């Protein structure tokens, strides 16, 4: 691949953003399909309680890994700036510092995930009948931490360069491997939920290896050389300056979902299974959100590094508009077909009823969620990751927890756990809009 073809500082803005975002869409689609395949196979070939076990571990998994993935995203902003500025030396050092940080992070994550699984799941009030299976799934999943941490690290580097095509290829291969292993181990050999976690860990390790191989073989400034992997203090500080707020934002989002999951768990395994199935389906709505968020981070990072302020401004408007429109269309589809989609995971009428109820309360408001995520990505690109983090901390964590704590004292209904989403999405999108307006006025792009 011609390196200049992947740079986003020249050429048609809309074409560059769409061509970058499209492979991310497809990659996320593959990822959602194999995540859904896990749950479909578990729900149909094992039991509803097994599906509940996998579902109850999902939010907790993202709480732990979201922090480290956020650091990778923050590192990508730094690398994109240097690539846009065509600073070869700083690009090389930032890449190898990021990889060193990924290796250390994966070691920490493996220890934390495997050792603290029972404690964290009990704190979430996981139903006793699914707790043993949840612990098994959680521990096996995090035993493979190296694969998914390093995959996100390597892919973050590739995407910072403007290359989203190769990560798509690697994710497609990993998705196929994951589904085949699920079918073989669970449907064929009748193994338990641990087999689903094992299949995911193996597929993620494979995708990490493929992405690493690409970085080892490229002749671009972001080439990976194993002997050069080490921390550079000044670059580590800069990576953490961007990465820590992004990681904390992810963890805050996940923490609020863990708190909400603990309330849902109190309504029993059927509620956990139904809402867990819906969450798998909801992941498809995040495909355009994630794609355009990554596109904005890379596009703005490279263009600000190159001093193309007017170009960054035009790209911001286009990316946000596309994300809002695409996510809302998916929301309308999910609102209409929620019962039929949830039935793929589990045919139990009570499970379907819980999942459908959640869908009907939140899907029409996906455009607000999209604006918060993509607007936050824009703020990160402009060098304001702390502002983005504060929005998630206050709106998606503190406000949600307060609403649930207060309402549960007077109204004991699972519907409260649904309503908090559109309420806090409205609040966060309003604050993000204000921050974007202030950022545009203060930044040099305001005069472009």
Integer Cα distance of 373 and 244 in angstroms: 17
pLDDT at residue number 372: 93
pLDDT, tens only, 365-395: 999 999 999 998 898 888 788 888 888 888 8
Integer Cα distance of 180 and 383 in angstroms: 42
Integer Cα distance of 51 and 270 in angstroms: 10
Q: 14: domain range?
A: 3-447
pLDDT at residue number 448: 41
Domain count, the chain: 1
pLDDT at residue number 44: 64
pLDDT at residue number 217: 92
Q: Print pLDDT tens along the chain (448 aa).
A: 444 555 777 888 888 888 888 887 787 777 777 666 666 776 665 666 666 666 656 666 766 677 777 788 778 888 888 888 888 888 999 999 999 999 998 888 888 877 877 777 777 666 677 777 778 887 888 888 888 889 989 988 998 888 878 888 888 888 888 888 878 887 777 777 778 788 888 988 999 999 999 999 988 888 999 999 989 888 888 888 888 887 777 777 777 777 887 788 888 878 888 888 888 788 877 888 888 888 888 888 888 878 888 888 888 999 999 999 999 999 999 999 999 998 887 788 998 999 999 999 999 999 999 999 999 889 888 878 888 888 888 888 889 889 888 887 787 788 888 999 999 999 999 999 999 988 888 765 444 4
User: Is this structure's pTM higher than 0.75?
Assistant: no
Backbone angles phi, psi at 236, to 5 degrees: -60, -40
pLDDT at residue number 366: 94
Contact 304, 380 (CB under 8 A): no
Tokens of 188: 């064929």
Residue count of the chain, please give it.
448
pLDDT, tens only, 285-315: 788 888 888 888 888 888 887 888 888 888 8
Tokens of 216: 């080892």
The radius of gyration of the chain's CA atoms, rounded to the nearest angstrom, is: 21
Q: At what angle do helices 131-143 and 88-123 cross, to 10 degrees?
A: 160
3-class secondary-structure state, position 187: helix
Q: Closest by alpha carbon to 422, among 337, 339, 350, 331?
A: 331
For the chain, the average pLDDT equals 83
Tokens of 374: 């993509």
Integer Cα distance of 402 and 235 in angstroms: 38
Across 86-116, b (16+ Cβ under 10 Å) vs e yields eeeebbbbbbbbbbbbbeebbeebbeebeeb
pLDDT, tens only, 93-142: 999 999 999 999 888 888 887 787 777 777 766 667 777 777 888 788 88
Residues 6+ apart with CB under 8 A from 400: 256, 259, 260, 420, 424
Integer Cα distance of 344 and 3 in angstroms: 43
Tokens of 130: 């699914």
């Amino acid at each position: 691949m011609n390196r200049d073809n992947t740079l986003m500082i020249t050429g048609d803005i809309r074409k560059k953003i769409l061509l970058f975002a499209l492979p991310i869409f497809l990659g996320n689609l593959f990822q959602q399909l194999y995540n859904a395949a896990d749950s479909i196979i578990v729900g149909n070939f094992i039991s509803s309680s097994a599906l509940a076990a996998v579902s109850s571990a999902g939010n907790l998994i993202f709480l732990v890994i979201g922090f480290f993935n956020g650091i990778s995203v923050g590192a990508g902003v730094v690398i994109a700036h240097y690539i846009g500025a065509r600073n070869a030396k700083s690009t090389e050092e930032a890449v190898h510092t990021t990889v060193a940080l990924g290796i250390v992070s994966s070691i920490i994550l493996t220890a934390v995930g495997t050792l603290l699984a029972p404690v964290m799941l009990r704190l979430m009030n996981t139903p006793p009948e699914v707790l043993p299976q949840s612990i098994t799934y959680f521990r096996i999943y995090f035993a493979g931490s190296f694969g998914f941490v390093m995959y996100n690290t390597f892919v973050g580097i590739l995407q910072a360069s403007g290359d989203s095509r190769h990560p798509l290829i690697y994710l497609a291969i990993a998705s196929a491997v994951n589904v085949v292993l699920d079918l073989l181990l669970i449907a064929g050999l009748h193994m338990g939920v641990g087999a689903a976690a094992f299949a995911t860990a193996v597929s993620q390790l494979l995708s990490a290896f493929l992405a690493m191989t690409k970085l080892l073989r490229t002749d671009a400034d972001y080439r990976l050389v194993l002997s050069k992997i080490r921390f550079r203090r000044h670059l580590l500080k800069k990576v953490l300056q961007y990465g820590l707020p992004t990681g904390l934002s992810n963890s805050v989002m996940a923490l609020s979902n863990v708190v909400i999951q603990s309330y849902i768990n109190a309504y029993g395994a059927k509620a956990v299974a139904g809402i867990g199935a819906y969450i798998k389906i909801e992941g498809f709505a995040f495909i355009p959100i994630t794609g355009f968020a990554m596109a904005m981070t890379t596009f703005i990072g490279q263009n600000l590094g190159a001093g193309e302020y007017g170009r960054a401004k035009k790209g911001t408007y286009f990316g946000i508009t596309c994300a809002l429109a695409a996510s809302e269309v998916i929301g309308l589809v999910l609102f209409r077909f929620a019962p039929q989609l949830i039935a793929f995971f589990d045919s139990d009428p009570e499970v379907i009823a819980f999942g459908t109820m959640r869908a009907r309360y939140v899907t029409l408001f996906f455009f607000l969620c999209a604006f918060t995520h993509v607007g936050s990505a824009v703020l990160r690109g402009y060098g304001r990751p702390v502002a983005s983090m504060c929005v998630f901390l206050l709106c998606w964590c503190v406000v949600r927890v307060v609403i649930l704590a207060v309402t549960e004292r007077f109204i004991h209904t699972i519907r409260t756990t649904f309503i908090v989403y559109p309420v806090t999405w409205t609040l966060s999108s309003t604050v993000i809009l204000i921050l974007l307006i202030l950022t545009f006025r203060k930044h040099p792009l305001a005069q472009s």
